[in-house]
């Protein structure tokens, strides 16, 4: 069996004949463009990040910062990441040995999993999970084990009993994503502590995906698991600039942690992309140092857009879980499902039916899993779109007829 087929299958991208399909995000964006639907499917901002940050990159291109940057990343960016982790979270890092710049968080996650897990190892993630996490585990030939997040009045919360069963001496890595895509959950301190305890008991490593670290609402704050007592020595913390500064196409990410683990990840990373993004690196270095007001402004505006979409979806008749962070809100589409349909069928039909694009939550689950069945009628909407697009989407969704599973016109 060729490895790419395993990867396609693990990330839900395999067609019945085993051939690869585009990701669900790309599929829904194409559908939205074809139908003129308001695209609340793929999570990318429809306005670019701060002009002053883009200006630094433009100047770098003009000034000749256009050849390979150092394999571990520009020294000023590594210093800025270390300073950011210290200032925000009290995590101390040596920028020379404990920080590696990557092509977005996606490369960091793939390189970390490839470096540290292989056939016979288990890698534990939450479920639902971001598609590239499952793909990275499959590329490494490791076994993917999941712990459900369960929807309730307090949001999607960790199934703590399932955590106890999932983590064992076979566990090599616990891959933790918080704030969480797609549910918008920000794991609480006690939940993180349970994961930390499980990791220590099993002598497992923790790899994190914290790309939405700054996009939290209602005074909820993000805690990196590496900041918990005794966890820095077994944790690789991964984040990126894309979400924080609305520059998702720049693909500047980083991984930070103990020198010997960073050494291992570097060994893999240098043969994936070697290095990249030379003119963007100095711009992100400055953004991490001087960009706090921009981050605060984005958080406030995103929080207001979340409120707008949450109110609109409720008004249209969706049950939902209010997200404490990220770009996303998950909603139960049960009242709108035609006989025999699930969230995936609903999502594929919605651009035509109502002029709105969404993504089914089952795309973030293992095929046939209990979580996939429990969340089969759920869909994810993004609110990282301008207010007008959100208003248009909400007006269109209000026209959905709950009883008939069809639009009344």
**Binding-site ranges for ligand GLN (CB under 6 A):** 23, 25, 42-43, 181
Closer residue to ligand GLN in complex, CB, 232/250: 250
Closer residue to ligand GLN in complex, CB, 182/279: 182
Alpha carbons 311 and 396: distance in angstroms, whole number: 14
Closer residue to ligand GLN in complex, CB, 23/146: 23
Beta strands in 65-212 (DSSP E): 99-103, 122-127, 143-152, 155-158, 171-177, 205-209
- Do residues 175 and 113 make contact, with C-beta atoms less than 8 angstroms apart? yes
Alpha carbons 292 and 86: distance in angstroms, whole number: 14
Extract the tokens encoding 315: 């008004």
Neighbouring C-beta atoms of residue 48, cutoff 10 Å: 13
CB of 22 to ligand GLN, least distance (A): 9
Is 149 strand, coil or helix?
strand
- For Cα atoms 373, 151, 223, give the angle at the middle one, nearest 5 degrees: 125
Closer residue to ligand GLN in complex, CB, 171/239: 239
Is 103 strand, coil or helix?
strand
CB of 53 to ligand GLN, least distance (A): 20
Alpha carbons 154 and 139: distance in angstroms, whole number: 35
For CA atoms 352, 30, 40, 139, the dihedral sign is positive
Closer residue to ligand GLN in complex, CB, 146/181: 181
Alpha carbons 171 and 28: distance in angstroms, whole number: 34
**Which residues on neighbouring strands pair with residue 407, listed in sequence order?**
400
CB of 72 to ligand GLN, least distance (A): 25
Rounded to a whole number of angstroms, the CA Rg of the chain reads 21
Closer residue to ligand GLN in complex, CB, 25/89: 25
* Residue nearest to ligand GLN according to CB distances in the complex: 43
Q: Which residue has the tokens 């920028």?
A: 95
CB of 108 to ligand GLN, least distance (A): 14
CB of 43 to ligand GLN, least distance (A): 3
Closer residue to ligand GLN in complex, CB, 43/291: 43
Closest CA to 235 of 176, 300, 292, 162: 176
CB of 41 to ligand GLN, least distance (A): 7
- Do residues 207 and 197 make contact, with C-beta atoms less than 8 angstroms apart? no
**What's the number of CA atoms in the CB half-sphere (13 Å) around residue 144?**
28
CB of 66 to ligand GLN, least distance (A): 26
CB of 390 to ligand GLN, least distance (A): 16
CB of 409 to ligand GLN, least distance (A): 30
Alpha carbons 78 and 255: distance in angstroms, whole number: 10
Closer residue to ligand GLN in complex, CB, 23/208: 23
Q: How far is CA 260 from CA 230, 255, 330, in A?
A: 17, 13, 39
Closer residue to ligand GLN in complex, CB, 23/102: 23
CB of 233 to ligand GLN, least distance (A): 30
Closer residue to ligand GLN in complex, CB, 43/279: 43
What separation, in Å, do the N-terminal and C-terminal C-alpha atoms of the chain show?
50
């Amino acid at each position: 069996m060729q490895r790419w087929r395993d990867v396609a299958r693990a990330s839900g991208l395999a067609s019945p004949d085993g051939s690869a399909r585009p990701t669900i995000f790309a599929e829904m964006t194409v559908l939205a463009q074809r139908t003129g639907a308001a695209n609340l499917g793929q999570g990318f901002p429809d306005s670019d990040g701060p002009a002053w940050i883009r200006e630094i990159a433009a100047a770098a291109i003009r000034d000749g910062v256009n050849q390979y940057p150092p394999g571990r990343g520009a020294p000023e960016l590594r210093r800025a990441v270390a300073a950011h982790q210290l200032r925000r979270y009290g995590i101390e890092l040596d920028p020379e040995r404990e920080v590696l710049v990557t092509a977005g968080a996606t490369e960091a996650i793939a390189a970390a999993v490839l470096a540290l897990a292989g056939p016979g190892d288990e890698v534990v993630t939450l479920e639902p999970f971001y598609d590239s996490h499952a793909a990275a585990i499959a590329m490494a030939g490791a076994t993917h084990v999941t712990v459900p997040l369960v929807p309730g009045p307090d949001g999607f919360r960790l199934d703590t009993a399932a955590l106890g069963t999932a983590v064992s001496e076979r566990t090599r890595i616990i891959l933790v994503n918080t704030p969480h895509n797609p549910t918008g959950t920000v794991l609480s301190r006690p939940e993180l502590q349970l994961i930390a305890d499980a990791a220590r008991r099993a002598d497992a490593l923790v790899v994190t995906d914290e790309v939405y670290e700054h996009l939290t609402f209602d005074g909820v704050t993000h805690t990196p698991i590496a900041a918990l007592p005794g966890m820095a020595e077994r944790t690789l913390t991964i984040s990126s600039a894309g979400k924080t500064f609305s520059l998702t196409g720049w693909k500047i990410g980083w991984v930070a942690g103990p020198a010997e683990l960073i050494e291992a990840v570097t060994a893999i990373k240098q043969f994936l992309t070697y290095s990249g993004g030379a003119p963007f690196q100095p711009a992100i270095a400055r953004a991490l140092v001087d960009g706090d007001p921009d981050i605060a402004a984005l958080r406030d505006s995103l929080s207001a857009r979340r409120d707008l979409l949450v109110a609109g979806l409720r008004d249209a008749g969706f049950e939902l879980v209010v997200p404490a962070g990220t770009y996303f809100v998950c909603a139960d589409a049960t009242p709108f499902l035609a006989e025999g349909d699930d969230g995936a069928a609903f999502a594929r039909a919605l651009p035509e039916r109502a002029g709105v694009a969404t993504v089914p939550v089952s795309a973030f689950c293992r095929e046939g899993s209990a979580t996939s069945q429990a969340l089969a009628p759920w869909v994810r909407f993004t609110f990282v779109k301008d207010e007008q697009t959100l208003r248009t989407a909400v007006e269109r969704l209000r026209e959905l007829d709950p009883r008939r599973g069809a639009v009344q016109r």
